[in-house]
A = this chain, B = another copy of it.
Amino acid sequence: VSKAGLDRGPRDALVAGEIAEALAAKAKPRGSLGRLEEMAITLCAIRGERLRELRPTVVVAAADHGLAAEGVSAYPSEVTAQMVQAFVAGGAAICVLADHAGARLVVVDCGVGTPIESQPVLSRRIGAATRNACAEPAMTIAQADQAIVDGGELLAELARDGTNIVALGEMGIGNSTSAAAVTAALLAAPAPACCGPGTGLDAAGLARKVAVVERMLERLGRGRRPQQTLAEVGGFEIAFMTGVILAAIEQRMPILLDGFITAAAALTAVAIDARAREILIASHLSPEPGHRLALDALGLEPLLDLGMRLGEGSGAAVALPLLEAAIAILEKMATFSAAGVTDAGR
């Protein structure tokens, strides 16, 4: 990958122009493939080269949250470790969807309550769950920094191994509450606007969740640096994903976001380095109210709106075939002249 274009920003305008021209020559009305064409241009502009194919990796970062003790999830914390085991065994939704998309799956234990011994899980444990962010900082600044470094190292390694797009996913009981606090703090938004039912809270549970986020925000106070916000109310997996995104700037790696929790990591990354915005693609819109808020702040328009709210990277994996179709059009479709078709649109 040529990094020469980085001084022109993380999206190479020259490459974007070249791809737009290549698509305009294809035997179809100009722009008639809509966002498929936009995606082909965006992916190539981020990579700084004309892509021939996608080689996607889905990174699922998992960690537990001390604030789960506040009863903010329909599921107990043990489910985080159980789901990581399911990721390894191959039966989880993200395993099926990553396989369907032809993507490699990398599962990272960033601090699951019960350490995962199984071999294929990458161990980047910062601790055994964060502390309860209602009462004290979820982690130290040093821990947040370490998770960011770990995420960056994984991204660099994936880039070296030939991955040219990373889809982000996460697992962590309680993490939509953490993401709500991060989003509310970074966007100066009220807690209720950032809280939704997550994996399935009822009305009482949602009210409890809003109260928990309000306590977190009160403790945090205003005017904090993004790293501080991340350490105070974030999670190990959110910090890890922030590191993945930040490293993707230099590596010119397109990052395909999943749902609300990945968007909170994206907001954090952009608050640390505004260039991160340029390497992000929004796969889908979840019904969590904070997700739309975060995507609007990031200036991202999701590709899909299918009512998905599972996490794990599932929405990103479902969107991958659309991006692959976009690159296939660029690579394989004939031009007007090659196909012998009259180009009235010229």
- Residues of A at the B interface (CB closer than 8 Å) are 26-30, 32-36, 74-76, 78-79, 82-83, 85-86, 89-93, 95-97, 99-101, 199-200, 287, 303-310, 314, 317-318, 321-322, 324-325, 328-329, 332-334, 338-342, 344-345
Contact = CB atoms under 8 A, between A and B. Distances in A.
B328 A33 contact: no
A314 B342 CA distance: 20
A97 B308 contact: no
Nearest to A97: B325
B309 A83 contact: no
Given A28-B93, A32-B308, A95-B333, 7 more contacts: A34-B308, A74-B344, A85-B339, A93-B329, A96-B328, A97-B329, A101-B321
29 contacts: A27-B92, A28-B92, A32-B199, A32-B308, A33-B314, A34-B307, A34-B309, A36-B308, A36-B318, A74-B344, A75-B342, A76-B342, A78-B342, A82-B340, A82-B342, A86-B334, A86-B339, A89-B334, A89-B339, A91-B332, A91-B339, A92-B333, A97-B328, A100-B328, A101-B325, A199-B345, A200-B345, A318-B325, A321-B321
A260 to B, nearest CB: 13
Contacts of A307: 34-35
A268 to B, nearest CB: 25
A130 to B, nearest CB: 21
Contacts of A85: 339-340
B34 A333 contact: no
Contacts of A344: 74-76, 79
Nearest to A35: B306
